[in-house]
Structure formats: C-alpha cells, structure tokens
A = this chain, B = another copy of it.
Amino acid sequence: MSDVAVGLDVGGTKALAVLVTREGEVLDEIRTFTPHDAQGGAGAATAKVLAEQVATFAQRHRLDPVDLPIGIGMPGMVRRDGRLAFAPNLQTVSGASFPDLLRESLGAERVYMENDGNCAALGEYAWGAGRGIDNFVMVTLGTGIGGGIIANGALVRGQSGFGGEIGHMAVQARGALCGCGGYGCWERYASGGGLARLTSEWAAEGRLPTLVRLRGGADGVTGEDVTRAAREGVEEAVALMRDVAWWLARGLANLVAILDTGNFVIGGGLSVAADQLLPSAREFLVDLTFGYDKRPPVVVAPSDLTVHAGALGAAKVAFDRQS
C-alpha cells in the first residue's frame, strides 16, 4: 500500500497534478495547460501531458509509476470502467480510456478515473468542508455547474457512473437553451455561464444602464464586470447578482427536497463571488425549500479545498480503489 497518491484534475484550460499523502497533505503540485489537439487519437495529447506530470513527481520524489496510485478527475460523463463516454468541454478526449493510455506510456498499473465533480465531493468529504457529513452535495460553479452527491456516507455514482450531473437538472422547463441540447438546465441560470447569459439579457433589456454606458454598449458588458460592480455596490449589478443567487437557491432547494441534503459545499470558479452569492442564496432558501421550518437550517458553505478539491478527490479515489 502506497503512502502517497497522484491526483490529476483535468480542466478545459489547465491540468492540475498533486502528490498527496493519505492524510490529504499536498506534497507537490504541477499545473500544465490542457492540450486541445486530436492528434494521435482520442485523449492522446492530454494523456501525454498527464504522463509527464506523473513522471516528474516520480523523478522528484523517487517513486515508481508502476505502483503509484493515480486518480484522474475529468469533466464529463465518466463510466464506472474509467472510460470517458462524453466530455462536452474536452471534445478531443471523448471516448478515451486514460487508465489504458497511462498504462501504455508509464507502465502505471493503478490508474482510476472519476468525474471531476464527484472527485471534488470525495475530496471535501475526506479532507475538507464535508468532513464527517454523511449526506451532502458538492456544487461546483464554473462555466457550468458540476457536482457530486454523498448519501449514506458514499458517493452516488448511479447506474453507469454518471451521477451528480446536477447542472443539467431543468429548473425552468422550456427555458434557456443549454450546451447539452436541453432547455432550462440549472447551469444556464446559476453558473459563471448563467451569469454571463443573464448579463447579456439584462444589458439588452436596458437593466444595466451604468455598465452599458461604461463599456460603450450592451455587448461589451461581461459577468466579471457585474461581479466587480456588485462588489462596489452598484445597484443594478447587486440586483443581478441577487437574481443569480435566487437561481442558485432554486436548484439547491430542489436537491434538499429530493435528497434531504442538510449541507452544501460550494466550489468552482464562480465561488470567488461566494461572498456576494451565498448570503442571498441562504436567505432565498427559506422560502424555496419544501418544509424549510421542519428541518435543521440548511448549511451552505464554501469549499475548504478550493482549487485543489478535484485533484485531492482524484487522489482519494486512487487510495480507495487500490486499498
């Protein structure tokens, strides 16, 4: 049994590699840009980057890749067998089996793959804001919304391993078109992408006059403009952030009804705006949650592990599967 594991978190922009102890201590880390070329077949370019990261750790820390437990967190639909069924944001890797690719390039025998939101949930459960909480939902607010569900102390992988795709729960039937082809998905309202979409909508409707004037047109206003202006107290921006928080609460309330989740851990890129979103979302939850007053107060906490959550969780997957 190895004392350390590698966790790899592959994002649309960067791949983060961490070397982790069984106590969740990060001994080393590497960040590399994620390649987006399809040469060499599905996932080959990305697998090469990951293999280099692992090889660097092996060299620096005198480890043998053959025995090293390696976990990979990947955005998209990761099957229980470790094959990537579909990755909308990483088109060049769809269908790839990274365990096989890393076995070929490194001789690594212990490579496991899991959805990145599920990894983040496992990471927070082991070493972060979900520690000791046997029923909670990890919500990662990035361009979309990912997540992972811990119920009865275990990750809900579901039939094929695709569990936790909470961003594609429709909260507005026949609502805004989503990248997945569906309509009204939660992530079209309460993610970074949702903020951007609502910003365009509000700007076009004349509801962001100050920002439109500042940017010289409705097209120029971005989600970042809104979070910045909201932080400075610009009323129209504060109102828009409250709308995003309302939609965030709408989805969270659904998950409370379905799963009786008492705790949420919020991570992902948009969680930099957590101080603007979470207080309002908590407030909206009171009205939006079925039987709110019959429950203990729902806790909505920011991620403890922040940018490391996915990579740490991937390492946890590797520890768990190889032990």
Contacts and interface: CB of A to CB of B under 8 A. Distances in A.
Interface of A: 77, 85-86, 135, 149, 151-152, 154, 156-166, 168-173, 180-182, 185, 247, 250, 253-255, 257-263, 287-288, 290-291, 294-296
B261 A158 contact: yes
A166 B260 contact: no
B291 A162 contact: yes
Contacts of A86: 291, 294
A268 B48 CA distance: 54
B290 A149 contact: no
Contacts of A160: 260, 262, 294-296
A113 to B, nearest CB: 15
Given A180-B290, A295-B162, A152 B154 contact: yes
Contact of A260 (B152, B158, B253, B288): B158
Contacts of A287: 181-182
Contact of A258 (B77, B255, B295): B255
Contacts of A258: 149, 163-166, 169, 255, 258
Q: Which 8 A-B pairs have the closest CB atoms?
A: A158-B260, A159-B262, A168-B290, A163-B260, A162-B260, A168-B257, A85-B294, A169-B254
Contacts of A163: 151, 258-260
Contacts of A164: 258, 260
Nearest to A154: B152
B254 A290 contact: no
Contacts of A151: 151-152, 156, 158, 163
A242 to B, nearest CB: 15
A124 B149 CA distance: 23
Nearest to A255: B258
A149 B294 contact: no
Contacts of A166: 257-258
Contacts of A253: 170, 182
Contacts of A260: 156-165
A77 B296 CA distance: 13
